[in-house]
Structure 1
């Protein structure tokens, strides 16, 4: 067997015919994953405020459905793609993502009279296996709107979890404690803000 790409393997059936099989995603209990999902052909998957709100509602609904077995550490919803950091317990994320995306896609297609697949192929997931990678991943997704030149500061973007990190709020979706625990408790939110926004400064020098 040889690897031909990120999502597929070459294999052979009993007749010796070449077939393509999906690679099994790397996962283990209590794994943290960076999930990326894009619109089909890079098309928009959010068109107005209610679309973003609906997607977030489906995240919450799926979490309730699966008895909070999934912990959403961070998210950013861009116009044509999504970033999530999810920590699992005893199940991988495939059922969770399938539930959220199938329900959202059905409503999107109905609302906009859209025909076809809303999302491009399967979502991608990258295993986060170190504390450093977790911190860098959270900074990366929170800075996505800044890098896309949609806003000057990440706190100005409405559809990410960044403000839940830097301002004390009661958020029913995001669990900030894991990442904030890496910073001094008395000013962890301020320190996280400096950590994220230091990357903006370094890129403008």
Structure 2
């Protein structure tokens, strides 16, 4: 079973969809989203230990960088969550460079499959060759989604639907932080501990 925890429910729901889409067979996914970074850090280990009481599991921890460096966020997740987990399992630490929503910019045209009235510029995908370098992806998505009445269409509540429609091959090609999830699901390859962790 995959057990996923994330900063909020919309990130959890999106990653759950990604796992099911990546896996060639039906898999069980459990977990939850929290009310932000603080709750994830403070309660994450307890939730993983509770959900992982029986059996050996695959734990996925999702934490946006939100302006911090990936290495610092990874260290925070390891020290505050991973090292406190006593349940049996392997780990995938999923740390998007900015926010998970940046992944949708790898195939931004997917928004038209969720909001039929959203019209995009021609070749708009080419404007985002490195989606993880987009600053404030949520904010930019809202700005791009403003309709004629000046109301934004985009809401993170639709992340689950966007995750259903986005092209996973494009995410893999453009977003390095996505690869650990694919390898974890398909190959069981954990990214903790890695060589750096073992040397520490």
**Which structure: larger Rg?**
1
TM-score by length of 2: 0.25
Indicate the structure with greater strand content: 1
TM-score by length of 1: 0.24
